Structure 1
Amino acid sequence: MTIQVREYALLTCDTTVPGNIDLGVISPPTFDWLVELQQQWGNSVQLLNREGKQFLRLGSYVGYLQSPAGEGIEILPKTQIAVTDKPEPLRQMLQRMLQVSAGISPREASVAALQKRRQPLHEWIFSEFLHYLVELVRRGLRFDYHLTEDDDSAYIRGQLDMNRQIRQPPGRGTRFHVRYDEFTPQRIENRLLRTALDSVLKLTKDSENWRMANTLSHQLSDIQPVADPLPKMKSWSEGKYLFAYRTIKPWCQLILEKLNPDFQKGASQGISLLFPMEKLFEKWVGHGLAKALHPDFSLAMQSREQYLLTHTPVENNASAESWFMLRPDFYIEAKSTAFVLDAKWKLLDRRQANSAEKYGISQADVYQMFAYGHKYLAGKGQMMLIYPQNPFFEIPLPAFEFDKDLTLWCVPFDVESGKLVSGEWQNTFTCLADVGKPAGVGIV
């Protein structure tokens, strides 16, 4: 059984409570597994918080969890304040954002592909990986030469190791110590693909995915999997002769990283395929800004050029050091103009237009933008906070002024079209030439 919830939903093991997308009802074994999972992760992943004996509050992670008992929890993005019972649009939006974040090229839509988009996130990832692997096997895997040493060869092949051969004991004069290059498919890229395939075959519950994975497993039976695959991903070659491997690499990496068993210890492991929503939204906004950017401007993501302050430690002969790096999500510049933008995965509310609630804008975020404005723009210019569009934040807010020279805009971002919502801010942000026009992103 699989339930659908969204970010910050409550999970409870009280079966008398009616469930919805903001309140998921799970079994006591799954509840206990989630508590144990959070304890294993510690502070590295704020997956959930305990609220009473029978309630858990999810954090800002989306994806899929499956307990060892087989109970699945699909966590979808929260894109509006009101409760909705339609998970399908949220799932498809998450898939588009995930493709952009992972650097995955879209492929043409078909009836089968559209049907697979209705699958839970992990099964969709599995099906995409298997699709590309089938195509790669059909076109042919790349082989490579690997040095092989044989201490008991019946015939001479390649190079004879004379030092070891002359020390052969009596009666073994017909056996040879040889060293030779063998042309095999045991290159690291193929072994990583086989490792990811083994994970899919073990974890998938979809009959079509299992059938494809089982067939591929027989076809790749001669390839050895990798015991510790994550460090080996750095050895994946990007050479031109491996051009056919480029489309499948992000899917392989996605499976190996997110299904890494190091995150789940114990005899009974479930599935944990989680993504921080803040990072997905940041990548999605960056994708939209890059498409809208005027050709005379350049866009830098996570710029690391400025620090908040300098300090000279008290030790003798110590030199001045830069402390507290300032990294805006987006820095747009031309020869004489620059803009600073930051993406925040938070839901603003125009109904909270008062000095107490301030639309839901975080004071810390405003302080952060103030620091960006003085360090990156020398206290003069235009800045923007970008939030997801929702029914109570459909149009940009009026400008916020730190002073007469430094202005901050709060602008909604349409997560469906992948564009900023047009407004008065466009009069000053001349760097964004194509904003606010209805258009689909065309990603499957």
Structure 2
Amino acid sequence: MIQVREYARLTTDSRVVPSLDCAVVSEATLDWLQELTASWKGSEPITLIDGQRSLKLGSYVGFLQSPGGEAIEILPKTGLGLENSDSARRILQDMLMAAMGIKPRVADAAKLMRMRQPLHEWIFSQFLSELQKLVTRGLRFDYQRTDEEGRFIRGQLRVVQQQRQAAGRQHFFHISHDIYSPERVENCLLKTALDHVLSACRSSENWRLANELSHRMADIPSLLDPLNQMRNWKSNKLMQAYDTVRPWCALILEKLNPNFQQGIHRGISLLFPMEQLFEKYVESSLHKQLPKDCLLKSQASSQYLLRHTPENREQSMNLFQLKPDLLLITSMGNQVLDTKWKLIDQSAYQSNEKYGISQADLYQLFAYGHKYQKGRGHMMLIYPKHQQFKSALPPFYFSDELVIWSVPFCLETRRLVSGEWTKHFHVHKQV
């Protein structure tokens, strides 16, 4: 297992000393990554540098496994200096669960051990744990219509087929009846994911549990094309027991099984953009801390940058939709909260560094402030907390009436670091 973090460099140069920021891979793996990169359009999880013998990872985390079996675990860059890989992996797991809308359970010693596993093995263990609880409780059966030829009549006689029965086989009856069977689409999808886990896992504990569950579900067939069947998964009151295992099943079938992926790249590519994970993580955390009279809305889209009336047309049209990450709606008005997965430095206040805050981000907030807050009030830029950014920066003023605060968010406590900004925001009851 090769372990790196965001923005790391992958090379085939054996003279390089491996670290979290640089790793040595085989020629075959680098060739596969180049082919994989060429197939991505509109996103750049991996970029090509130094000709053709070196690649640079982007702001994506997850797990890569080449067709030859070489595996690469990509962890989030949660600090500017050296960091503990177990801590970074635990934060990534918490973010992933928040993004998938899964409520964390109370951790016992066994679960804490699983959190130290590579990301894909951890996903396998979460799936197996939830599947074991479901199987122990009992799988949901359903009636399946069956047409067959039998010696006795049960159900409905298929009259037309019976009239066409050959003379020598008139003692057999064409019948149609229902069988109470576990072969419903949800159980077949779970069995398909379980088969993949059993063949792909390397953890002895995961393999033991997968093997046990495989025997208990031996009567349920697997699906050849499970991705098209995921849309047929029913979510209703009768299927509530399946809700906790469903996201893990979908993740395994859609991301971790190369047999079900489209194209010729048969390795595993499980990558998550850190910008989106961080946004979902902050949103999930703040939702639990909001006062009752406040509403946190994700990806508000009611405002546009421009209104334009084309020539020879009577009606005007809106152009360039504005979608802030989070919009806090209170009795005192709207407040824009924008998340940025970037490590800024509170000591770099010189004019040429500007703490590492992007000028484009401030232009974006300027537009949000005028459209969603009528050019007045307080807005917030939320960055991850780390050693060089432990407290909120002094406010930035677009004008005397429009102010921006840059506030650190602690990834471990899942709270915004308190400061002067708390006088102007109603983000949580107690800070």
Shared fold, TM over 0.5 = yes
Larger deviation, residues 5-14 vs 133-142? 133-142
Distance 1:351 1:275 in 2: 30
Aligned partner of 2:223 in structure 1 is 226
1:258-305 deviation line (CA, Å, top 9, x unaligned): 225454633x72222221111110011112211222221111111121
Indicate which of 367, 379, 383 corresponds to 2:379. Answer: 383
DSSP-derived class of the 1:65 partner? strand
**Superposition deviation, residue 383 in structure 1:** 0.5
Equivalent residue letter for 2:41: N
Q: Distance in 2 between matches of 1:192 and 1:263?
A: 15
| 350-359 or 74-83: bigger deviation | 350-359
The farther-off stretch of 73-82 and 63-72 is 63-72
Give yes or no for contact 1:93–1:416 (8 Å, CA) kept in 2: yes
TM-superposed deviation, 1:202: 2.2
Deviations 1:211-237 (A, max 9, x none): 221222222122122333334333322
Is 1:421 matched up with 2:420?
A: no
Which residue matches 1:97? 95
Residue identity in the other structure for 2:251: L
Alignment partner of 1:207 is 2:168: no
Q: Please, which of 297, 301, 306 is the counterpart of residue 304 of structure 1?
A: 301
After TM superposition, give the deviation of residue 322 of structure 1 in Å: 2.1
Question: CA 1:39/1:147 → structure 2, altered by over 3 Å: closer, same or farther?
Answer: same
Indicate the larger mover: 178-187 or 348-357.
Answer: 348-357
Q: Which runs of 5+ in 2 are unaligned?
A: none
Deviation at 1:402, TM superposition (A): 0.8
Residue 13 of structure 2 corresponds to 14
Instruction: Please report how far the alpha carbon of residue 422 of structure 1 lies from its aligned counterpart in structure 2 after TM superposition.
Output: 0.9
2-structure distance, mates of 1:370, 1:185: 57
Deviations 1:52-89 (A, max 9, x none): 132110011111111122221110000111233x2111
Amino acid at match of 2:100: A
Equivalent residue letter for 2:19: N
Q: Which moved more, 1:190-199 or 1:349-358?
A: 349-358
SS at structure 1 position matched to 2:337? strand
Aligned to 1:173: 170
C-alpha distance in structure 1 between counterparts of 2:167 and 2:320, whole Å: 72
The alignment's TM-score, normalised by the length of structure 1, stands at 0.92
2:349 corresponds in structure 1 to 353
Answer whether contact 2:333 2:373 (CA < 8 A) is retained: no
CA distance in 1, matches of 2:62, 2:427: 34
Match of 2:284 in 1: 287
Residue 418 (structure 1) shift: 0.6
Preserved contact between residue 255 and residue 268 of structure 2 (Cα < 8 Å): no
Structure 1 vs Structure 2: percent identity of aligned residues?
A: 51
For residue 45 of structure 1, report the CA deviation from its aligned partner. 4.0
Between the aligned partners of 1:415 and 1:180, the Cα distance in structure 2 is 56
Output one character per residue of 1:344-394: Cα deviation in whole Å (capped at 9) or x when no partner.
101111232122221111111111111111111111111101011121111
The aligned residue for residue 127 of structure 1 is 125
User: Paired residues, what number?
Assistant: 429
CA drift at 1:93: 0.9
Aligned partner of 1:440 in structure 2 is none
Partner of 2:144: 146
How far does residue 193 in structure 1 lie from its aligned partner after superposition?
A: 0.8
Following superposition, the deviation at residue 144 of structure 1 comes to: 0.6
Q: Specify which of 47, 50, 54 is matched with residue 48 of structure 2.
A: 50
What secondary structure does 2:194 align onto? Answer: helix
Residue 438 (structure 1) aligns with = none
Letter of the 1:434 counterpart: Q
**For residues 100-129 of structure 1, what are the alpha-carbon distances to aligned partners after superposition, in whole Å with 9 as ceiling and x for unaligned?**
111112222222111111110100110111
Change beyond 3 A, Cα 1:44–1:199? farther
Shift of 1:160: 1.2
User: What is the rounded CA distance, in whole Å, between the counterparts of 1:350 and 1:239 in structure 2?
Assistant: 49
Q: 1:135 to 1:432 in 2, by over 3 A?
A: closer
State how 1:429-440 maps to structure 2 within 5 Å.
429-435=425-431
Structure-1 residue corresponding to 2:394? 398
1:275 aligns with 2:292: no
Aligned-partner residue type, residue 218 of structure 2: S
> Displacement, 1:198?
1.7
Q: CA deviation at 1:317?
A: 5.2
Give the AA of the match of 2:9.
L
Stretch deviating more after TM superposition (332-341 or 393-402): 332-341
Query: Which amino acid counterpart does residue 202 of structure 2 have in structure 1?
Result: K
* CA-atom RMSD in angstroms: 1.8
**Could you tell me which residue of structure 1 aligns to residue 248 of structure 2?**
251
The residue number in structure 2 matching 1:116 is: 114
